[in-house]
Structure 1
């Protein structure tokens, strides 16, 4: 089988990436509230561990995967201050739905989310980025939950 140079390569939409917080709609994020760095999703660890046996390996799928999401907000807009107020009030924000910049990728649901960091700020009029990290977990290997 040879490669086909006419295969469409797709397209990314810089304005599509966004985050929805079902329990905190005042924190919902669309592209117009983001600094140039946008949103970064960083899963941690394996979705399956391989356990050595004497003559082979046994797969042990994980039920969840920890995820850290870095959100680079534009601190010149009020949404950054909404997150600052949320940090002061309660860092737990519940569920988060991430919408990709790729129209062919499914949304990702991150559960049990907490705001983990409060960013450093340069108050000299030269830095618009206000980056926070939100940590939670994502269900993986969902077939495992069907115990029938």
Structure 2
């Protein structure tokens, strides 16, 4: 039987951050984020199970697309820096997302782009600018050793 007294850990929301090694001026720390902080979603399947007559054949993917969403405070200059970046070039290159706990590894994406910026309402009630990034997350790395 599993030990029911294992400490469950602590989440530290101010640990979450996003780094862009190719343009550190766009790095996002919690002081620039809205309450939603950062969300990472993997799009697509890591492996395909293809039906056969008597079972299934696996077909692992070498990568999946990832979507990163976060809210910037429009009241900080960093939100405008992101807007200026997409006006110049929406390609970012590599991006690393650090989670809210040391127990979970950072998520490294390659070939990232800014896919969407929503500046939100200018009605004095919502300071959030929603930013969406898309990139590639490599999976099934052992495939390259076959």
2:114 and 2:72 map into 1 onto residues whose CA distance is 14
2: CA distance, partners of 1:142 / 1:133? 26
Distance 1:55 1:121 in 2: 53
Q: Over aligned residue pairs, what C-alpha RMSD do you find?
A: 1.0
Superposition TM-score, scaled by structure 2 size: 0.96
Alignment length (residue pairs)? 146
| Aligned position for 1:66 | 65
Q: Distance in 1 between matches of 2:127 and 2:74?
A: 5
Whole-angstrom CA distance in 2 between matches of 1:120 and 1:131: 6
What is the alpha-carbon distance in structure 2 between the residues aligned to residue 46 and residue 119 of structure 1? 28
The residue aligned with 1:122 is 121
Divergent runs of 4+, >4 A: none
Question: Hey, what does 2:139 align to over in structure 1?
Answer: 140
2:109 maps to 110
TM-score (norm 1): 0.95
Deviations 1:80-139 (A, max 9, x none): 000000010000011101111111111111110000112042111111111110001100
Q: Distance in 2 between matches of 1:22 and 1:146?
A: 28
| Structure 2 unaligned regions, length at least 5 | none
| Matches of 2:22 and 2:106, distance apart in 1 | 17
- Partner Cα separation in structure 2 for residue 129 and residue 6 of structure 1: 40
Which residue pairs with 1:22 in the alignment? 21
Residue in 2 that maps onto 1:97: 96
